[in-house]
Amino acid sequence: MIGVVRIPEERMKILRRDAKMKDKLENFSNSKIKLTEDVEIETEDPLNMMRVKEVVKAFGRGFDMEDALNLLDEIFCMQTIEVRDFSGKSRNRMVVLKGRVIGSEGKTKQKIERMTETKIAVYGKTIGIVGKYLDVHLAAKAIEMLLSGSLHNTVYRFLEQQKR
């Protein structure tokens, strides 16, 4: 069974440059990976194909390969949130929205990751979250709160209450 995943060219360049990443993915997933214009995956098991595709998509969305490889485990999942400016105020609004999620020197992103035990990648027009299902759901809610304008302290209090 062969599957194909398209990832951004700059992420493809990283994958081509570091053969160890490709080898690691092949070894952990018991599949063959071929890097052409896209990422071609060959494996016998359809469930394995689905998981390997998720790993490649996560890598393409800006995650480190180490974090993306967690998706081979069935208890992990990935959620992607599209960053959109509904106000139509300016083109710079998307940069501001992503900046709210990242925070000063990455502190907001790190705090959400720490409080929800997830990994977050802000890349392009999306924010990706990898972790265990309930943790991903909680991190997504926190990010959506920030994108809709909630104060950072309000989001942190929400996360503290939910984790209790």
* Domain positions in the chain: 2-72, 76-163
Side-chain-side CA neighbours of 129 within 13 Å: the count stands at 28
- What per-residue confidence (pLDDT) applies to 35? 92
Q: Whole-angstrom Cα distance, residue 135 to residue 113?
A: 9
Q: CATH topology for 2-72?
A: Ribosomal Protein S8; Chain: A, domain 1 (3.30.1370)
2-72 and 76-163 agree in CATH topology: yes
Task: Count CB-CB contacts under 10 A for residue 129.
Answer: 27
Tens of pLDDT, residue by residue over 35-86, are 999 999 999 999 999 999 999 999 999 999 999 999 999 999 999 999 976 5
**Per residue in 118-158, pLDDT tens?**
999 999 889 999 999 999 999 999 999 999 999 999 999 99
Global pTM reads 0.90
Q: How far apart are CA 95 and CA 85, in angstroms?
A: 10
Count how many residues are written for the chain.
164
Class in CATH terms, 76-163:
alpha beta
Looking at residue 73, what DSSP letter applies? S
